[in-house]
Chain A
């Protein structure tokens, strides 16, 4: 089976969506929902927290989507529609 190509932006959007679905994202659930290996997920989660798209709650050990993260996903969805109209993946 041909492996589906996902851009960095798509992976970020998939992680944010996974966290939104759960309300509060546990790393193991995010890994499954976003279809990522443990190493890649940790790398991306670190990037998302440092860029302010996700917030880590030390008390509960879960990730929460920030307003910036919601804005990113909203913009991603709209531009994904545009690039798909061009027959391209974002």
Chain B
């Protein structure tokens, strides 16, 4: 039996919620470990790094809540759905502001430290704001450039992980930018975002489990 487009849409939405939720959890873990280390070591770099990941994770969590609300609104009468959609638009704006703030924190850190139930495109237009995705991608460019330079000129074994992470994050915003054209871009964006956060998390785990001791 071939599932209806409506069924495929709901299954895919649940996957996107799960992927974004996992990415948010990774971001939150990275942020908490960095902030805790920042407190113990008195490091400003770790403080801003932790703050950037915290904002990124909070933005992802807010969108997870928004999409979950939309899923549960499927059984509500039309007037209830309209209310949910206006709340979603507000949440999307909140998401954009928080996520862009996280990239502004990263840029500040790098600058100041030496060196739809009806149709998918319609829903995507509510959940994703192309202007935000473009602004995010542009804001991430200097960060990708800096980490790329660092990975080429450094013998630090974790530099490539961080560079690949930021490059994948940039790629995820570009994929979300085209999510209105095809649902493949939408899912690819979530996968890339999860991969990026997984790489940041991997770098943190590798560093923490590094056996080299003083």
Q: A interface vs B, CB < 8 Å?
A: 5, 7-9, 12, 17, 20, 70, 72-79, 81-90
Contact = CB atoms under 8 A, between A and B. Distances in A.
A87 B115 contact: yes
Interface of B: 37, 40-46, 49, 109-110, 113-115, 146-147, 149-151, 154, 156-159, 161-162, 203-204, 207-208, 210, 212-214
Contacts of A79: 37, 41, 43, 46, 207
Q: Which 5 pairs across A and B sit closest by C-beta, in order of nearness?
A: A87-B150, A85-B158, A82-B207, A85-B162, A85-B159
A79 B40 CA distance: 11
A61 B213 CA distance: 28
B210 A78 contact: yes
A8 B204 CA distance: 22
Contact of A72 (B40, B156, B158): B40
A75 B41 contact: yes
Contacts of A85: 150, 154, 156-159, 161-162, 203, 207
Contacts of A7: 43-45
Contacts of B46: 79, 83, 90
11 contacts: A75-B40, A77-B214, A79-B37, A79-B46, A82-B207, A84-B159, A85-B157, A85-B158, A87-B110, A87-B150, A90-B46
A75 B158 CA distance: 16
B45 A90 contact: yes
Which applies to chain B's interface (DSSP): helix, strand, loop or mixed?
A: helix
A82 B203 contact: yes
A84 to B, nearest CB: 5
B108 to A, nearest CB: 12
A3 B53 CA distance: 31
Contacts of B162: 85-87
A84 B114 CA distance: 11
A26 B109 CA distance: 37
B156 A81 contact: yes
B45 A88 contact: yes
A86 B150 contact: yes
Contacts of A72: 40-41
B156 to A, nearest CB: 5
Nearest to B159: A85
B214 A20 contact: yes
B149 A78 contact: no
Contacts of B113: 88-89
Nearest to A81: B207
A40 B110 CA distance: 27
A86 B146 CA distance: 8
B156, B157, B159, B204: which has the most chain A beta carbons within 10 Å? Answer: B156
